[in-house]
């Protein structure tokens, strides 16, 4: 009898803890009904552009909602999605910025689309439109129109300070659009931190540390010495809140010396470049420029490092793969990192993979 009571007590404790854990888990996410009521539960992971929202309520019942059946859904301290009608169809779009002006994103495997709306204007898509122009020789040329600029300037007409910045946009970038809409809402609201959340930026991936790997090969040429063949691996880390333009660049390069006697019988040497790289991305390529220090064990140098300048470009192959071309020039430093005399040049080719 005593054993049965102990077993029953243990079973009740286990079930209670299990139920408590399950209920806690089922309160992390939520849906917002068409009547603006919030219901907590669990949402199975999905991306914007999804057809349905798979939701498990506090009782454990799983319901799949169509975009026209609820106002939206969200994750606790995470992404938020709302239902928006586009033409004859309705989709769940990711809510990026909320305020006097709203910014949304609809993403799938093929592309990413951006939308704006406010209290007065209905949903409008920001997109790049290319016009076909016939040249004097009859050749067809494709020129980027100002349609995206005109649309952004229309929605932000209350804030003329943004007009110049918008006029320079020749490609659509997450952080740039978020920054413009956020800045617009702050100025219209009149304060940087709005207690009424009229300038809210929902969690996005714009501030995360992106990572890229770039296997490279090529050759290194000394000013007074022969070529050396070079290969290595470079890595890039995106600096948060830098509009996808600033990266920390680092890695290692190994160079095989072809004339051993001219570099103190050294068969090869290793380089460890550390640089800050700036990029200016276009649709099909992104020019780059970098400056930093290149640590090396090359014996003929008076110091263990050189000042390194780099220029190059990444050419678009797929969404996450680029062909890279980089030209590096190393200087013997006069003082600290102040460049003095050129010591070597490098030309490197590679494949840049974005993770």
Residues 234 and 336 grouped into a single domain: yes
Short-list 111, 183, 306, 66, CA closest to 55 = 66
The verdict on 193 and 240 lying in the same domain is: no
* pLDDT at residue number 2: 47
Confidence (pLDDT) at 346: 92
Residues 61 and 190 in one domain: yes
Domain final position from 161, 181, 201: 201
Please check whether residue 147 lies inside any domain of the structure.
yes
| Host domain of residue 310 | 211-354
Domain shared by 322 and 340, yes or no: yes
Note the Cα 183 to chain centre separation in Å: 19
What local confidence, expressed as pLDDT, does residue 251 receive? 95
Co-location of 287 and 340 in the same domain:
yes
- What local confidence, expressed as pLDDT, does residue 18 receive? 42
Residue 27: predicted pLDDT: 61
Does 243 reside within a domain?
A: yes
Q: Among 201, 219, 250, identify where a domain stops.
A: 201
Q: What percent of the chain has pLDDT over 90?
A: 38
153-207 tens-digit pLDDT: 999 999 999 999 999 898 888 888 988 998 898 888 875 555 556 678 875 555 5
Q: Does 188 lie in the same domain as 121?
A: yes
Please check whether residues 159 and 273 belong to one and the same domain. no
- Both 62 and 146 in one domain: the answer is yes
Cβ neighbors of 42 (< 8 A, separation 6 or more) are: 25, 26, 28, 29, 55, 56
Total domains in the chain come to: 2
Let me know whether 227 and 197 are in one domain: no
167-184 burial, b at 16+ Cβ within 10 Å, e below that, comes to eebeeeebbbbbbbbbbb
Q: Are residues 41 and 64 in the same domain?
A: yes
Q: Per the domain annotation, does 206 fall within a domain?
A: no
Q: Which CATH number goes with the domain that contains 279?
A: 2.40.160.20
Q: What confidence score (pLDDT) does residue 343 get?
A: 87
Q: Are residues 124 and 34 in the same domain?
A: yes
Spell out, as residue ranges, where the chain has pLDDT lower than 70: 1-27, 45-51, 191-198, 203-209, 223-226, 240-244, 259-265
Whether 196 maps to a domain, the answer reads: yes
Residue 63 covered by a domain: yes
Per-residue pLDDT at 132: 82
Pair (254, 346) in one structural domain: yes
């Amino acid at each position: 009898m005593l054993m049965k009571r102990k077993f029953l007590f243990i079973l009740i404790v286990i079930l209670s803890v299990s139920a408590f854990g399950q209920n806690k888990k089922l309160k992390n996410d939520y849906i917002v009904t068409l009547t603006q009521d919030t219901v907590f539960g669990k949402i199975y992971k999905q991306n914007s552009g999804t057809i349905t929202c798979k939701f498990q309520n506090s009782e454990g019942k799983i319901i799949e909602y169509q975009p026209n059946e609820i106002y939206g859904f969200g994750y606790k301290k995470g992404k938020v999605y709302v239902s928006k009608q586009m033409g004859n169809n309705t989709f769940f779009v990711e809510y990026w910025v909320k305020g006097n002006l709203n910014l949304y994103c609809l993403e799938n495997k093929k592309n990413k689309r951006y939308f704006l709306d406010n209290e007065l204007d209905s949903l409008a898509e920001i997109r790049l439109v290319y016009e076909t122009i016939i040249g004097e020789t009859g050749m067809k040329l494709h020129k980027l129109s100002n349609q995206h600029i005109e649309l952004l300037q229309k929605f932000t007409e209350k804030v003329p300070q943004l007009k110049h910045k918008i006029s320079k946009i020749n490609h659509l970038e997450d952080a740039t659009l978020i920054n413009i809409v956020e800045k617009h809402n702050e100025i219209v609201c009149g304060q940087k931190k709005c207690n009424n959340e009229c300038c809210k930026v929902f969690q996005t991936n714009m501030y995360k540390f992106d990572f890229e790997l770039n296997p490279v090969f090529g050759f290194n040429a000394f000013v007074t010495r022969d070529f050396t063949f070079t290969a290595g691996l470079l890595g890039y880390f995106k600096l948060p809140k830098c509009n996808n333009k600033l990266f920390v660049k680092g890695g290692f390069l190994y160079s095989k010396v072809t004339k051993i006697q001219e570099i103190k019988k050294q068969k090869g040497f290793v380089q460890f470049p550390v640089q800050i790289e700036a990029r200016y991305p276009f649709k099909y390529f992104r020019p780059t420029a970098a400056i930093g220090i290149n640590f090396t064990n090359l014996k003929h140098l008076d110091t263990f490092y050189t000042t390194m300048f780099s220029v190059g470009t990444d050419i678009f192959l797929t969404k996450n793969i680029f062909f890279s071309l980089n030209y590096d020039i190393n200087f013997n430093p006069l003082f600290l990192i102040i460049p003095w005399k050129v010591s070597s040049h490098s030309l490197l080719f590679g494949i840049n993979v974005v993770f």
